[in-house]
């Protein structure tokens, strides 16, 4: 008796993940192409880091008291007992590489870009997933405000090229270790009498990481935030000058921005400039398809040192691929197809015809002619019907007799006229017909 197949499943993809189906692929291809072309033009080189890193890398750099570290990391123990984490973001791994590979010895700054999956255990909704993709850039080893502005310019031109034109930046400065402590004290003083009104998370944040209070999505906490003191009013002279200079560059570039004194971003490693790229209200995207920010970033002048490297400044941003695609779709932006439409159909008949057909197919590909086939079908009628449906200009038919004689039939689909051509020059003939 034949063995019986034991059925299991069906399986579903894990919550918060997506399958990128072939019909979606043109959007991904378009974004990859634009990002790499623009990044290269601006002097950035591509880097890829592992999807897993030591958990401590993110705990230390993103910050222990952040949502990402407290609630969103996919952390596991390996069989060897190490604690690893699926990367929730791309900057800390690149800072790790910069130190590990001794990139401080390269001409500075080091300009890198990446595209790849990130993982955060979040509540999935439109534009928010557990596995999502970011493209991002980093300039490490340069503290001049021109590099903040240049990264923002690159963000801007990439989105313009993708057709997402009506965007602007929200910007703020988070100061530096000189000016931030005083502000932090003031922020604590502002919130302390209001402790009872804060959400439980913010009550804890008030002790551990008061800047995170400005980041809370809770409605009541948002209301309390309205009158909170602004860091921007407490910047030291150096941070103030740096920020003013970034804004002057943006003015010069005619890139629209809005000061948002409450913008802190969800990661601890930022110093000085922070920004988020957002759709403008007249972007043409319907309310239902509105996504939160398209991307965000900022300066992280203490990150490399924090991770054991020399005191080295850096600035960068990351943007979401899925969010960009959602907006492109909502705006009806067309993308070029990935695979060219076939111009020729290769039909086969009989054992010998079929046997030779795979080789012939490769010959056509090598000649740069997009070709379709249906090798599983043996009826010529059925094959020609498919050729017709595909709208190809020419069908090639390799029958038993033609294969034996070293010929092939070339059929012009529109007129139905057929001609027998020696296999030795069929590509040449075919190219002539396709030109017509």
Interaction of residue 24 with ligand AMP, rule CB under 6 A? no
Q: Which of 170, 201, 322, 373 binds ligand AMP (CB under 6 A)?
A: 322
Instruction: Tell me the HSE value of 224 on the side-chain side, using a 13 A CA sphere.
Output: 23
- CA separation, residue 371 to residues 2, 57, 339, 349, 413 (Å): 41, 50, 11, 17, 14
Query: Interaction with ligand AMP in 258-317: which residues (CB under 6 A)?
Result: 266, 293-296
Interaction of residue 95 with ligand AMP, rule CB under 6 A? no
Nearer to ligand AMP, 134 or 172 (CB): 134
Give least dist CB 44 to ligand AMP, A. Answer: 17
**Sign of the four-CA dihedral 263, 268, 273, 277:** negative
Q: Which of 51, 97, 128, 190 binds ligand AMP (CB under 6 A)?
A: 128
Nearer to ligand AMP, 24 or 363 (CB): 24
Task: Write each residue from 323 to 362 as x if it is in contact with ligand AMP (CB under 6 A), else as -, in one continuous string.
Answer: x---------------------------------------
Give least dist CB 168 to ligand AMP, A. Answer: 14
Query: Interaction with ligand AMP in 70-89: which residues (CB under 6 A)?
Result: 89
Neighbours of 310 (CB within 10 A): 9
Give least dist CB 323 to ligand AMP, A. Answer: 4
Residue nearest to ligand AMP as judged by C-beta position: 320
Task: Write each residue from 102 to 121 as x if it is in contact with ligand AMP (CB under 6 A), else as -, in one continuous string.
Answer: ------------------x-
Q: Which of 167, 274, 279, 319 binds ligand AMP (CB under 6 A)?
A: 319
Interaction of residue 129 with ligand AMP, rule CB under 6 A? yes
Neighbours of 188 (CB within 10 A): 13
Residues near ligand AMP (CB under 6 A): 89, 120, 122, 127-129, 132, 134, 266, 293-296, 318-320, 322-323
């Amino acid at each position: 008796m034949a063995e019986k197949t034991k059925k299991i499943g069906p399986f579903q993809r894990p919550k918060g993940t997506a399958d990128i189906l072939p019909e979606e692929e043109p959007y991904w291809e378009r974004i990859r192409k634009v990002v790499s072309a623009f990044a290269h033009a601006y002097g950035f080189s591509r880097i890829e880091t592992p999807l897993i890193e030591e958990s401590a890398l993110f705990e230390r750099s993103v910050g222990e008291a952040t949502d990402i570290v407290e609630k969103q990391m996919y952390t596991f123990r390996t069989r060897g007992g190490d604690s690893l984490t699926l990367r929730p973001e791309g900057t800390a791994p690149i800072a790790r590489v910069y130190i590990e590979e001794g990139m401080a010895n390269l001409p500075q700054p080091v300009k890198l870009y990446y595209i790849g999956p990130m993982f955060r255990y979040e509540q999935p909704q439109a534009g928010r997933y557990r596995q999502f993709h970011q493209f991002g850039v980093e300039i490490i080893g340069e503290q001049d405000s021109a590099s903040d502005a240049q990264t923002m310019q690159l963000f801007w031109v990439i989105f313009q090229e993708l057709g997402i034109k009506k965007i602007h930046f929200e910007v703020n400065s988070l100061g530096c270790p000189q000016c931030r402590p005083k502000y932090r004290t003031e922020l604590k003083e502002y919130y302390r009498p209001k402790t009872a009104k804060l959400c439980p998370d913010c009550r804890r944040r008030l002790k551990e990481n008061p800047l995170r209070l400005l980041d809370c999505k809770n409605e009541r906490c948002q209301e309390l935030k309205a009158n909170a003191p602004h860091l921007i009013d407490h910047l030291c002279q150096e941070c103030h000058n740096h920020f003013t200079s970034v804004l002057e560059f943006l003015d010069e570039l005619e890139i629209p921005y809005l000061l948002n004194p409450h913008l802190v971003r969800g990661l601890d490693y930022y110093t000085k400039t922070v920004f988020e790229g957002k759709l403008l209200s007249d972007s043409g995207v319907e309310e239902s398809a509105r996504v939160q920010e398209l991307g965000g970033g900022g300066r992280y002048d203490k990150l490399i040192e924090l991770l054991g490297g020399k005191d080295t400044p850096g600035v960068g941003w990351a943007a979401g691929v899925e969010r960009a695609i959602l907006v492109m779709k909502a705006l009806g932006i067309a993308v070029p197809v990935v695979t060219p439409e076939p111009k020729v159909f290769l039909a086969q008949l009989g054992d010998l015809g079929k046997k030779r057909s795979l080789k012939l197919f490769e010959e056509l590909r090598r000649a740069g002619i997009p070709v379709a086939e249906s090798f599983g079908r043996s009826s010529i009628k059925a094959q020609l019907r498919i050729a017709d449906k595909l709208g190809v200009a020419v069908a090639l038919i390799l029958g038993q007799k033609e294969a034996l004689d070293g010929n092939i039939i070339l059929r012009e689909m529109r007129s139905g006229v057929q001609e027998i051509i020696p296999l030795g020059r069929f590509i040449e003939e075919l190219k002539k017909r396709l030109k017509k």
